[in-house]
Structure 1
């Protein structure tokens, strides 16, 4: 599979953010529900006065209700369309898009760039408060209220047993033909001076529901309902565990996507398409992020 751009076209990198509250996730749906991808593609078609819908490829397809501050996508436009609209594209998109989605940058991407497959990591934040009075009303759409006191030190101790390359099948919603092997690079909790506890979760990629499931397991440890060793034992079982709670999406934000140096983009894209296996496990085709 090649990342070569069709002759006469130019690949643009788009940096964007959105409030996920009123979106049914990133990806377009046949049901016609409102999605981030659908909204941006419609706006792009309108402002460029095109009869063609230019499809976006995204770094991470967020679920319904999940927010993004540092999302990245790419789109291939005909060179003449880009030449005509490049100077005013951002301003015109800002005038056409709803206020809960913004594109901050649109620039020609370096050779070999693929928003999804060239990425080397995605960093999410999940925000929760255990304040007995609940969530600040001004933050209620971005912070989960947990009505038990949370022990951040215990959650960090539990998180240490999950970092590294593992099969995260116990924390993922399985998709046919997709691997659940991921490298969890960072999972750390920190309580801020405002009392909000933020989980920083970084991995090369995430499978469906992985972050929200990991957070759910950590909260059970933090409030004393499960021992520190429990999340690692669940991971080791290798199968989806019904006792792992998938927390609500509104506390989750995609904060940043990392890419390698320009000269390594194409190689990273090829590597990411290979199905991953752990030592001693069987291989196969397909992939997932």
Structure 2
């Protein structure tokens, strides 16, 4: 039997998604809790691996098991054994042709940034921070060049293992609420550190270091050395994964649970 789960987690409590020997990852915690319910060890596969410090409101995973359990056992039962900072939101039985990673045709991320002279305290680790005033209008103007299919090599980490740097950016937006900024990205996929590198470049534009047209030049140049440094992971959230509509996932798998902008 194959089961799909919707997961949320606070990335600052773990050392990334992918299993490590030390066991302090989201995957390690989830597999240990699932094994308690299934009665046997099992392996989970996710829609997209996240780095240390990166959060998720809508991660999708699947696993295979011979254990027959009610959906509630895979949710409330598993949550009983999960540490604070990670929880299962839903569970659905799927057939063996479903794959959380390979069948996902679209993903959505949001980066939350606190724009204030002083660093955040209550939201430390949950939002990014930049101390200088930022012009969200200029950042939105610059971000418009990212729409469509492009070679995103200029915003790709050196250790990225993707076979191609070509990605189709289907939505990008920059929104302000008081002292907070939200950067929303929706694409067929993302490269390693791509969003954090894009946010860093947009911050360069927002603080006035470069005009909005600079981002299009960097994108076309495909040269990582011309772009801004990688921004902190603190404010980055995986918040939507889309699958073909025939799968029996909540909202056909198109779960978009966006973390909200805090009150200004």
When the two structures are superposed, what TM-score results if normalisation uses the length of structure 1? Answer: 0.80
The residue number in structure 2 matching 1:55 is 43
The residue number in structure 2 matching 1:68 is 56
User: 1:176, CA displacement in angstroms?
Assistant: 4.8
User: 1:22, CA displacement in angstroms?
Assistant: 2.2
* Partner of residue 127 from structure 1, selected from 91, 94, 112: 112
Contact between 2:33 and 2:79, CA under 8 Å: does it hold in 1?
A: no
1:167-246 to structure 2, matched below 5 A, reads 167-174=151-158, 175-176=160-161, 178-192=163-177, 194-241=178-225, 243-246=227-230
Alpha-carbon distance between aligned partners in 2 of 1:56 and 1:242, rounded to the nearest angstrom: 38
Contact between 1:110 and 1:262, CA under 8 Å: does it hold in 2?
A: no
Contact between 1:111 and 1:262, CA under 8 Å: does it hold in 2?
A: no
User: 1:72, CA displacement in angstroms?
Assistant: 0.6
Contact between 1:48 and 1:85, CA under 8 Å: does it hold in 2?
A: no
- 1:90–1:131 distance in 2 versus 1, CA, 3 Å: same
Alpha-carbon distance between aligned partners in 2 of 1:63 and 1:256, rounded to the nearest angstrom: 17
The residue number in structure 2 matching 1:32 is 22
User: 1:87, CA displacement in angstroms?
Assistant: 4.4
Contact between 2:141 and 2:212, CA under 8 Å: does it hold in 1?
A: yes
User: 1:84, CA displacement in angstroms?
Assistant: 4.1
Q: Tell me the alpha carbon deviations over residues 5-41 of structure 1, each in whole angstroms, 9 at most, x when there is no partner.
A: xxxxx11110010000021111112x42411111111
- Please report the RMSD computed on the Cα atoms of aligned residues, expressed in angstroms: 1.9
Alpha-carbon distance between aligned partners in 1 of 2:161 and 2:232, rounded to the nearest angstrom: 24
Alpha-carbon distance between aligned partners in 2 of 1:168 and 1:195, rounded to the nearest angstrom: 29
Alpha-carbon distance between aligned partners in 1 of 2:226 and 2:206, rounded to the nearest angstrom: 19
The residue number in structure 1 matching 2:101 is 116
The residue number in structure 2 matching 1:284 is none
| SS of residue matched to 1:231 | helix
When the two structures are superposed, what TM-score results if normalisation uses the length of structure 2? Answer: 0.88
**2:89 is aligned with 1:104:** yes
Equivalences, count: 247
User: 1:242, CA displacement in angstroms?
Assistant: 5.5
**2:8 is aligned with 1:17:** yes
Q: Tell me the alpha carbon deviations over residues 51-96 of structure 1, each in whole angstroms, 9 at most, x when there is no partner.
A: xx31111111111100000111111112xx0x24544232221111
Runs (5+) with no aligned partner, structure 1: 1-9, 266-289
Alpha-carbon distance between aligned partners in 2 of 1:256 and 1:107, rounded to the nearest angstrom: 17
Alpha-carbon distance between aligned partners in 2 of 1:116 and 1:26, rounded to the nearest angstrom: 14
User: 1:243, CA displacement in angstroms?
Assistant: 4.1
Runs (5+) with no aligned partner, structure 2: 250-264
- 1:87–1:151 distance in 2 versus 1, CA, 3 Å: closer
1:272-287 to structure 2, matched below 5 A, reads none
Alpha-carbon distance between aligned partners in 2 of 1:187 and 1:89, rounded to the nearest angstrom: 35
| SS of residue matched to 2:138 | helix
Instruction: Tell me which structure has the larger Cα radius of gyration.
Output: 1
- 1:152–1:84 distance in 2 versus 1, CA, 3 Å: closer
Contact between 1:125 and 1:201, CA under 8 Å: does it hold in 2?
A: yes
**2:77 is aligned with 1:92:** yes
